[in-house]
Amino acid sequence: MGAATAAFAGFARGADAPAGPHSLAPLPYAPDALEPHIDAATMGIHHGKHHAAYVAKLNEALQKQSALAGKTLDALMPQIAGVEDAALRTALRNNGGGHWNHTMFWNIMGPAAKAGQPSARLLAKINGAFGSLDAFKKAFADAAVKRFGSGWAWLIVRDGDLKIVSTPNQDNPLMKGLVPDEDAGTPLLCLDVWEHAYYLHYQNRRADYISAWWNVVNWEAVDRRLG
């Protein structure tokens, strides 16, 4: 592979790039299924280029790392902090996180017509923690808007309670030892606020993207994550 080709290897997997252990699942719906709230071009690039690049770079990082390569993506997250090699740790944090976060993100969204409402048991927990669904949405949107630069907003379960947190870059609440202890927990809902998630359609208007995004939250999928 020439240098020019290598520079693009993250975006279109080269013939000599490792094919595993991780792979990019297809989107669980058509790229235009979330229109008009999230446009097809954004979805196509976000999944087919950005997410694909995280998977490719994660696989690259895991070459010759047989113990770590044998772990599931879920099992890998809390192990990253303990990786001694700093370059490997960073590669796993950014690209393993990128793969985990986007996989969840696609699956907690769906067509607006099927978005529905939080289940009774989830709504009861939301009301208990935040007062009302509207108050929860406002606090979640606030965390998402205020995340400086690139990152994510999360609704997590921590010690049985719901909590809103946000993480920079591709960190997530499963990365024990890398995220602040009070931000660690089990993710129920996530929102990507990297500019690549909204810039084509919303440009600098992150708040508009966030308010539109509520229309495509798949509450049934969020409820399933409660266990």
- Name the site residues for Mn ion (rule: CB under 5 A): 192, 194, 197
CB of 98 to Mn ion, least distance (A): 7
CB of 102 to Mn ion, least distance (A): 6
For residues 59 and 101, which CB has a smaller minimum distance to Mn ion in the complex? 101
Closest residue to Mn ion: CB criterion? 192
Residues with Cβ within 8 Å of residue 41, at least 6 apart in sequence: 200, 201
Closest CA to 150 of 164, 175, 168: 168
For residues 178 and 191, which CB has a smaller minimum distance to Mn ion in the complex? 191
Which pair of tokens denotes residue 8?
Answer: 């693009």
Closest CA to 70 of 22, 16, 19, 18: 22
Residues with Cβ within 8 Å of residue 76, at least 6 apart in sequence: 68, 92, 96, 100
For residues 178 and 197, which CB has a smaller minimum distance to Mn ion in the complex? 197
For residues 93 and 125, which CB has a smaller minimum distance to Mn ion in the complex? 93
CB of 10 to Mn ion, least distance (A): 14
| Helices 97-107, 52-62: inter-axial angle, 10-degree rounding | 140
Q: State the DSSP code for 152.
A: E
For residues 162 and 217, which CB has a smaller minimum distance to Mn ion in the complex? 217
CB of 105 to Mn ion, least distance (A): 7
CB of 1 to Mn ion, least distance (A): 26
DSSP-based three-state secondary structure for 27: coil
